Copies of this chain bind each other. A is one copy, B any other.
Amino acid sequence: MRSYGQFCPVARAVDVLGDRWTMLILRELLIRDSRYSDLRDALPGIATNLLAERLRQLESDGLVERVGLPRPASAAAYRLTDRGRAVEPVIHALAQWGAPLLSPGQGDDAFRSHWLRLAAPLLLDGTDLAQLEGLTVLVRTGDAPVLFVVEAGRLDVRPAPSPCSAEVEMSGEPSALLDFLRTGGGPGVTVTGAAEAVRAWRDVLARSRTPAG
């Protein structure tokens, strides 16, 4: 991208981060280290040459590094450097601001379950997870099941192993499921498991909180 040519911290940041796709590539690498094809799968519509060029640029800007083998080799992955990981507050602020834009529903948009790793803790921001310590929730939606684990007062989201047992199981369309995470109710989501754990989970989700965004 052409520089804005402004001696201003915002402009200098956007010079580096403002290219098309760049922020979404960083989102992916914030969620997990990824191989080239992982990124391509998580970014439907990106042209392969663009992905390659963005990664090169991010590497030369010091936000991303290749881990594994040197340049001409396979099975390597991309990972954020410390400087790249420092973009996290920007991504989080964007996600907070963008959360209300999910309300119109999914439409024809793509969805990947691992995005919940970023979105779910955000949607639960302001809830009190202390009483759920240790709870596990298996979530079936999108392309692959994921496992919610409450630990240290935080919600962590990881790929679900198979087989996988959890105290609570939820399933439904991504759109319904995100509504459910925000409100603790709504149609289109099936919740099963031990009655007490289910009840505690729904209670926490239904608790009033600062509205996201």
Binding site for B on A (CB under 8 A): 1, 3-18, 20, 23-24, 27, 44-45, 86-87, 89-99, 101-102, 106-112, 115, 118-119, 122, 174-175, 213
Contacts and interface: CB of A to CB of B under 8 A. Distances in A.
A10 B95 contact: yes
21 contacts: A1-B20, A4-B45, A5-B44, A7-B106, A7-B174, A8-B111, A8-B112, A8-B115, A8-B118, A9-B97, A9-B98, A9-B102, A9-B119, A10-B23, A10-B24, A10-B91, A13-B97, A16-B98, A18-B18, A86-B213, A93-B93
Given A5-B110, A6-B110, A174-B7, A14 B97 contact: no
A102 B9 CA distance: 6
A101 B16 contact: yes
Given A18-B20, A213-B86, A98 B13 contact: yes
Contacts of A115: 6, 8
Most chain B beta-carbon neighbours within 10 Å: one of A90, A95, A101: A90
Given A6-B24, A12-B102, A13-B95, 7 more contacts: A7-B174, A8-B111, A9-B122, A13-B94, A13-B101, A89-B96, A90-B94
Nearest to A14: B23
